[in-house]
């Protein structure tokens, strides 16, 4: 019976291939047939592309160079100043011969960063995730400094410790300073019309409009939304509505003309959403138009999951997608825990005067205990007491229920976000502690005890007034949540914080779990510092 079913499948498969594949490729091995047909189709589209496609390709090169220039200058100047400054300080501290690292030597070491960073796709890094950019930037700087150290040791073997110390210290400083310099360069350059690259969006109208709005608020990433491409039916149905909202719309069959007029050299191809048709299953006419745009990005969908660290990978002549593993190995878990303990002990030591000052302020502001604890769900579903500085009046739970019962608007806001922008329970010192996130400093003790980590999903409370919906209405997401220690900070805190609906918090939890890496943790820690200092998302 099994053999008979296999024979039927083989017959059906052969008939299917004969109907889809050109006759010229039937002599190829079965593994290469579909790939050969795909290559031929791509080459035919390339051959049929006209002068407009070449014009866009030339423009894409110019945009890439102009966008790369401010980033390259920021990287070079920052690394040069750090290396020369660190070397000078070490020379004076240890009474070493002056100018072991001259300005010229530091200059050469900094110049090494440019080609290494280019190989890491850091120029122009259009639309690149900040976390991915951070990893590539630190790795590129480390490689350049390793080469510098090797050259220094060969030139002066006696002073090898000096070169190692200078490079290591420079790298430690570069971890926060280089991304900060890039962030500043992006913010300044994004105000210039010549910087970045216009991008078109090909997706159903609702998804296209949402992507357009998001890119509008992400102009520092280099992709500037120029308009949306819609299928013919979608264009005649929703085109005018989008244009009334200030979103230029165009029929996808005129994609080349639209790209030439808007100088767009990128197109993002989105999915049709739940149950929708995937736009990249197009007619030959649509494919021919999209193929004229130099840079095409297929966005992941429900059936095509692509994570932050996933890359293309070749197996012989066949190219595929390499999917990263978000599960911890024992070595990674040990390293993550070691970083948690080391950073937490250092933070407790440095923050001890602030902890004392906060305790005095809370005692003077209102009666009640200094600390507040709440049962939270942690790793493997085990509960623990999460500690905070008290920022509310005593019996805050009863006060909250009274306010929710008496004010329908407050109840609606609470049910939507599980937060209140003007929470009547919060004291004056509590409001200050919350906007600066200083109320969560006692959770450093939870990290030392192993209940929490520095970075992870936000710890949840299994209560109808808090996160009961997370536990009961999202069982699969909850099952993923308890596979990791909850964190003092996380992606939700540095992206939404006090804005956005509650489901967005679950989304960012799942995004973190799917894309977890030590690099992402380090990026979130540095990003948290910026969020606190600039009070981003503060209520």
> What's phi and psi for 419, nearest 5 deg?
-145, 160
Q: Most confidently modeled of 195-199, 284-288, 301-305, 464-468? A: 195-199
Give the C-alpha separation, 144 to 468, whole Å. Answer: 50
Exposed (0-12), middle (13-18) or buried (19+): which is 342, by Cβ within 10 Å?
exposed
Segment (H or E) for 371: strand 371-377
Please write the tens of the pLDDT for every residue from 329-385: 888 889 999 999 999 999 999 989 989 999 998 888 878 888 888 899 999 999 999
Q: At what angle do helices 518-534 and 130-155 cross, to 10 degrees?
A: 110
Distant-in-sequence, close-in-space partners of 72: CB < 8 Å, separation ≥ 6: 114, 117, 123
Q: Give 3-12's long-range contacts (Cβ < 8 A, gap of 24+).
A: none
CA distance 285 to 289: 7
Q: Residue 81: which H helix or E strand, with range?
A: helix 51-93
**Mean pLDDT across the stretch 127-145?**
94
pLDDT value at residue 213: 93
Q: Write the CB contacts of 307 (distance below 8 Å, at least 6 apart in sequence).
A: 323, 324, 326, 514, 515
pLDDT of residue 437: 80
pLDDT tens readout for residues 474-528: 999 999 999 999 999 999 888 876 566 788 888 999 999 989 999 999 999 999 8
Rounded Cα distance, 428 and 87, in Å: 47
- Cβ proximity of 493 and 512 under 8 Å: no
CB atoms within 10 A of CB 343: 14
Q: Helix or strand or coil: residue 473?
A: helix
Residue 289's H or E segment, with its range, is: helix 284-290
Give phi and psi for 441, each to the nearest 5: -60, -35
Q: What is the C-alpha separation between 33 and 41, in angstroms, rounded?
A: 13
For residue 357, the tally of other CB atoms under 10 A from its CB is 11
83-101 pLDDT per residue, tens = 988 888 887 787 766 666 6
The answer to whether the CB of 305 falls within 8 A of the CB of 510 is no
Report residue 183 CA to chain centroid gap: 14
Place of tokens 């709440």: 374
Please say whether the beta carbons of 140 and 162 come within 8 A. no
Token couple for 474:
């999202």
Confidence of residue 260 (pLDDT cuts 50, 70, 90): very high
Distances (CA, A) of 505 to 125, 271, 422, 464, 513: 27, 23, 20, 17, 13
CB 221 within 8 A of CB 266: no
What digits encode the pLDDT tens for the residues 266-276?
999 886 544 44
For the chain, what is the radius of gyration of the CA atoms? 28
Residue 429 and residue 361 in contact, taking contact as beta carbons nearer than 8 Å = yes
Contact 100, 83 (CB under 8 A): no
Q: Which two tokens stand for residue 189?
A: 């350059």
Report the residue count for the chain. Answer: 539
- CA 347 to CA 39: how far, in whole Å? 56
Characterise 125 by phi-psi region: left (phi > 0), alpha (psi -120 to 50), beta (else): left
Judge contact between 75 and 117, C-beta under 8 A. Answer: yes
Q: What count of Cα atoms within 13 Å lies in the side-chain half-sphere of residue 82?
A: 24
Question: Quick check: 123 and 75 in contact, CB under 8 A?
Answer: no
111-120, 311-320, 415-424: least confidently modelled range: 415-424
**Rounded Cα–Cα distance for residues 466 and 454 (Å):** 22
* Sequence-ordered list of residues with C-beta below 8 angstroms from that of 383, at least 6 positions apart, any chain: 375, 376, 377
Q: Where are the domains of the chain?
A: 2-48, 63-189, 197-304, 330-534
Q: Which CATH class is domain 197-304?
A: alpha beta
- Of 39 and 120, more confident: 120
Average pLDDT of the segment spanning 187-194: 93
d(CA 172, CA 532): 21
Burial 476-495 (b: 16+ CB within 10 A, else e): ebbebbbebbbbbbbbbbbb
**Between helices 330-365 and 518-534, what is the axis angle to 10°?**
20
Q: What is the pLDDT of residues 23-53, one digit of tens each?
A: 677 777 777 777 777 777 777 766 666 677 8
Number of helices followed by number of strands (H, E) in the chain: 21, 11
CA distance 435 to 9: 63
Q: What is the mean pLDDT of the chain?
A: 83
Burial (CB count within 10 angstroms: exposed 0-12, middle 13-18, buried 19+), residue 41: middle
Q: Residue 374 in 3-state DSSP?
A: strand
Return the percentage of the chain with pLDDT > 70, whole number. 86
Residue 505 CA to residue 516 CA, distance in Å, equals 16
pTM of the model: 0.83
With residue 454 as reference, give the H or E element that holds it: strand 453-455
Residue (of 175, 145, 178, 183) closest to 522 by Cα position: 175
């Amino acid at each position: 019976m099994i053999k008979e079913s296999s024979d039927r499948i083989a017959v059906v498969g052969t008939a299917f291939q004969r109907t889809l594949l050109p006759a010229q490729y039937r002599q190829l091995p079965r593994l290469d047939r579909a790939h050969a047909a795909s290559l031929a189709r791509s080459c035919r589209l390339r051959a049929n592309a006209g002068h407009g496609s070449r014009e866009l390709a030339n423009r894409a090169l110019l945009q890439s160079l102009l966008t790369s220039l401010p980033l390259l200058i920021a990287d070079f100047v920052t690394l040069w100043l750090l290396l020369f400054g660190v070397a000078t300080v070490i020379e004076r501290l240890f009474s070493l011969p002056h100018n072991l690292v001259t300005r010229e030597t530091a200059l050469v070491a900094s110049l090494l960063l440019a080609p290494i960073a280019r190989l890491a796709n850091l120029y122009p890094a259009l639309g690149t995730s900040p976390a991915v950019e951070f990893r590539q930037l630190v790795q590129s700087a480390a490689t350049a400094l390793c080469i510098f150290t090797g050259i220094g040791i060969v030139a002066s073997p006696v002073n090898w410790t000096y070169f190692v110390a200078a490079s290591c210290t420079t790298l430690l400083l570069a971890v926060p300073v280089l991304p900060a310099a890039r962030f500043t360069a992006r913010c300044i350059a994004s105000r210039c019309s010549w910087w970045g690259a216009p991008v078109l969006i090909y997706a159903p109208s609702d998804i296209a409009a949402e992507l357009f709005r998001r890119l509008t608020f992400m102009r520092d990433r280099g992709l500037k939304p120029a308009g949306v491409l819609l299928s013919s039916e979608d264009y005649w149905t929703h085109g005018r509505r989008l244009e009334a909202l200030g979103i230029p719309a165009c029929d996808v069959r005129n994609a080349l003309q639209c790209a030439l007029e808007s100088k767009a050299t990128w197109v993002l191809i989105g999915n049709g959403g739940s149950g929708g048709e995937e736009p990249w299953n197009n007619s030959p006419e649509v494919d021919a138009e999209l193929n004229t745009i130099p840079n095409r990005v297929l966005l992941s969908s429900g059936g095509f999951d692509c994570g932050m660290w996933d890359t293309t990978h070749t197996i012989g002549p066949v190219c595929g997608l390499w999917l990263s593993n978000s599960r911890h190995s024992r070595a990674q878990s040990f390293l993550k825990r070691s970083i948690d303990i080391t950073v937490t002990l250092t933070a407790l030591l440095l923050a001890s005067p602030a902890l004392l000052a906060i305790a005095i302020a809370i005692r003077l502001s209102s009666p009640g205990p200094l600390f507040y604890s709440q049962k939270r769900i942690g790793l493997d579903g085990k509960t623990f007491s999460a500690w905070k500085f008290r920022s509310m009046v005593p019996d805050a739970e009863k006060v909250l229920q009274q306010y929710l019962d008496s004010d329908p608007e407050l109840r609606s806001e609470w049910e939507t976000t599980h937060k209140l922008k003007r929470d009547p329970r919060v004291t004056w010192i509590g409001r200050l502690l919350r906007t600066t996130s200083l109320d969560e400093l006692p959770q450093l003790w939870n990290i030392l005890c192993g209940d929490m980590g520095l970075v992870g999903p936000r710890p949840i409370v299994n209560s109808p007034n808090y996160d009961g919906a997370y536990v009961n209405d999202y069982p699969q997401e909850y099952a993923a949540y308890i596979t990791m220690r909850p964190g003092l900070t996380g992606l939700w805190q540095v992206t939404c914080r006090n804005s956005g609906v509650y489901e967005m918090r679950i989304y960012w939890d799942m995004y973190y779990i799917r894309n977890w890496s030590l690099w992402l943790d380090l990026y979130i820690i540095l990003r948290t510092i910026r969020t606190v200092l600039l009070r981003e998302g503060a209520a």
